[in-house]
Amino acid sequence: MGILSIDFGGTQTRAAWFDMQLNMLARVDCATRREEGLDSVIERIITLAREVVPEQNGGIDAIGICAPGPQAYTGLILNAATLPDWDNVPLAERIAQAFNGVPVYMENDANLGALAEYHRGAAQGADPALYLTVSTGIGGGAVINGQLFTGWRGLAIEPGHMKFRHADGRFYSLEALASGTGIGRLAQARLATDDTPSSLRGLTVMDGRMVGEAAAQGDALALAVITEAGEWLGWGLLSLVHLFNPRVIVIGGSVALLGNLIFDPVRRILAENVIDPLFLPADLIRPARLGDDVCLIGAAMHAQTKLDMLV
Amino acid sequence: MGILSIDFGGTQTRAAWFDMQLNMLARVDCATRREEGLDSVIERIITLAREVVPEQNGGIDAIGICAPGPQAYTGLILNAATLPDWDNVPLAERIAQAFNGVPVYMENDANLGALAEYHRGAAQGADPALYLTVSTGIGGGAVINGQLFTGWRGLAIEPGHMKFRHADGRFYSLEALASGTGIGRLAQARLATDDTPSSLRGLTVMDGRMVGEAAAQGDALALAVITEAGEWLGWGLLSLVHLFNPRVIVIGGSVALLGNLIFDPVRRILAENVIDPLFLPADLIRPARLGDDVCLIGAAMHAQTKLDMLV
């Protein structure tokens, strides 16, 4: 008796075994190595998953899969930013075949992150709870009345695709302004127009981590870039706050690891622009608590909830 | 047996009598005349409401009140843009006293608009359903899983308070860019910097209706202003679409009466910027259907739902 949980990402793949009280009893991971091609990657997922299922047990009750792409709930991988060449791949079906037709429930990584942080992490007891993961891209999920909110076609909570006009006159998605990728782009734009000395000058590749490290060492240009990205994230959260009136917004992903460098400008934009301070409880914005296991936990919870609905 | 419904607005006040199947059996209205002061206005509401309650009946089962201000659900009028001098007025309690303690349920006008359009109007069977009222200001409401969604403290769905950077470099609320008031302000800004001949030139007071009428007669400057307002509304709806993945967005209020002058730029911004066409079913954006009675119907429904929850 237990739930097999699989977290399939563009870079890393993880599998874990949970008992029916959702205690994680075993956990393994490996690199996804997507460059080896679809069939090889799916075989590797299945091999990894088998490692974690105990030999002596009452069988697998259900399999939860965390996968990228807004339509992961269909069991298909498509439109996943981190897997651009995976087009309509029936991952859930392939996994179900490998495990003799055990029920498989697949969902989007950010949705499962919201579910896990709501039940076990930084958003416990907070409803509505919003979850943003800000790293290479920006994803999101929401729990409303204790349930995952996914909208009409499962596409809801894509905060990275709100658009704002930049000072350069063009409109950009929030993802292009405040994700790790966006931070790298903002830094390159600023280096081209601002001659402040900076340790970033001359680098050919630039991402949020590199800019964040320079900012943490006091590099003035890098600090200005992180502040700008934080302000953009603040304008995005201002919309979320006025639309959802959430009790909590949990922020995970690598950009959240920048801490107050990014959270201070977020909080300043919110405080200066909110229509009523009632929208902003002191602990509204919280860093994610579940770390790398967030999706494994969320996928196991999701599978268990779906099983319970069958009974 | 029946429900008394009161729609209390800054300009107009309406009352109606509904049977328990929510058929409207009688309806009256009058000007609010807020300049006469709080007590006088409340007395007028009570007198108007008494007119509509039949003399021979089994009594009033419940009273539903539609009122402005995001916290109307508390029974208090406060922070209502159209009633700036009403500060913490216990309207629900005053009405309950006048009607011998009958249960009174009060809610925000835009929330009740969402409920009414979902059950009887342009959003029937559409879930999630968003409702925007775009007139002097911009208000909003949402129905999710068949229920009014109001967030943590009843403040959710305030789309008018999302903020965007204008070409002039400053950030403005969507309300300042796309409401009737916003359209008047955009027109004045454009007249000051653009010397296109226009029938609006020389007017001292300007609102959305006046600009809309000039645009309908082919005034090029007025047309450009309505197009700009429609584009801003489009950027606002782009956020709503990516966050809620709604089945329908119903748009009511006087600005919606501009028809395709305002809806064409809205639809163009959505189509050009959405991340996936799955977000945009052909009939996503719909004009409101219930007209001036929307809040009376919504308040009666809300009262009946609350009564049912007591049983």
* Backbone phi and psi for residue B171, each to the nearest 5 degrees, phi listed first: -90, 135
Question: Are B239 and B160 members of one domain?
Answer: yes
**In whole angstroms, how large is the CA radius of gyration of chain B?**
20
Q: How far apart are CA A267 and CA A16, in angstroms?
A: 36
* Residue A63 forms part of a structural domain: yes
**A79 vs B279: CB contact, 8 Å cut-off?**
no
Nearest residue on chain A to B78, alpha-carbon basis = A276
- In which residue are the tokens 């309406």 written? B14
Instruction: Please give the helix or strand (H or E) that residue B116 lies within, else none.
Output: helix B109-120
Q: Say what the ipTM of the complex is.
A: 0.93
Same domain (yes/no): A130, A46: no
pLDDT of residue A219: 97
User: For residue B211, which amino acid is it?
Assistant: V
Asked if residue B118 belongs to a domain, the reply is no
Residue B177 near residue B229 (C-beta atoms within 8 A): yes
Residues B208 and B301 in one domain: no
Residue A71, pLDDT score: 85
Query: In whole angstroms, how far apart are CA B307 and each of A258, A274, B303?
Result: 50, 34, 6
In a domain, A114, yes or no: no
Once rounded to an integer, what is the mean pLDDT over residues B226-242?
A: 98
Arithmetic mean of pLDDT, B283-300:
96
**What pLDDT digit, counting tens, does each position of A184-230 carry?**
999 999 999 999 999 999 888 888 999 999 999 999 999 999 999 99
Per-residue pLDDT for A256 more than 70?
yes
Chain B positions touching A154 (Cβ under 8 A) are 245
Give the DSSP letter string of A228-278: HHHHHHHHHHHHHHHHH--SEEEEESGGGGGTHHHHHHHHHHHHHH-S-GG
Judgement on whether residues B45 and B90 belong to the same structural domain of the protein: yes
Residues of A in contact with B163 (CB under 8 A): 235, 238-239, 273
Does residue B155 sit in the same domain as residue B262?
yes
pLDDT tens, A29-56? 999 998 999 999 999 999 999 999 998 7
- Is B13 in contact with B30 (CB distance < 8 Å)? yes
Decide if B165 and A165 are in contact by the 8 Å CB cutoff.
yes
Residue B106 is assigned to a structural domain of this protein: yes
In chain B, pLDDT over 70 holds for what percent of residues?
Answer: 99
pLDDT at res. B204: 84
Domain membership of residue A241 (yes or no) is: yes
pLDDT digits (tens, 9 = 90+) for B156-175: 999 999 999 999 999 999 99
Asked if residue B32 is part of any domain, the answer here is yes
> B156 and B88 share a domain?
no
Residues B71 and B219 in one domain: no
Query: Structure tokens of A227?
Result: 């502040």
Do A103 and A140 sit in the same domain of this protein? no
Same domain, A135 and A41: no
Closest chain B residue by Cα to residue A79: B276
Query: Tell me, what CATH number does A166's domain have?
Result: 3.30.420.40
User: For residue B103, with 0-12 CB atoms within 10 Å meaning exposed, 13-18 middle and 19 or more buried, which class applies?
Assistant: middle
> Global pTM?
0.93
User: What's the distance, CA A62 to chain centroid?
Assistant: 23
* B263 in the same domain as B139: yes
Residue A117 lies in a domain: no
Residue A205, pLDDT score: 84
Q: How many CB pairs under 8 A join A and B?
A: 119
Do B38 and B96 belong together in one domain? yes
What are the tens digits of pLDDT across the range B66-122? 998 888 999 999 878 778 888 899 999 999 999 999 999 999 999 999 999 999 999
Q: What is the mean pLDDT of residues B35-62?
A: 91
Q: Does residue B48 surpass a pLDDT of 90?
A: yes
A245·B169 Cβ contact <8 A: no
In chain A, what residues touch B171 (CB-CB under 8 Å)? 235, 273
Residues in chain A closer than 8 A to B110 (CB atoms): none
Residue A226 lies in a domain: yes
Please check the confidence at residue A57 and state whether its pLDDT lies above 80. Answer: no
Chain B residue with minimal CA distance to A235? B163
Residues A133 and A87 in one domain: no
Q: What pLDDT, on a 0 to 100 scale, did the predictor assign at position B309?
A: 84
Share of chain A above pLDDT 90, in %: 86
| Residue-level pLDDT at B57 | 65
| Number of domains observed in the structure of chain B | 2
Query: Mean pLDDT for chain A?
Result: 94
Q: Residue B262 and residue B19: Cα distance in Å, rounded? A: 38
Range of the domain at A284: 122-289
pLDDT in tens, A91-125: 999 999 999 999 999 999 999 999 999 999 999 99
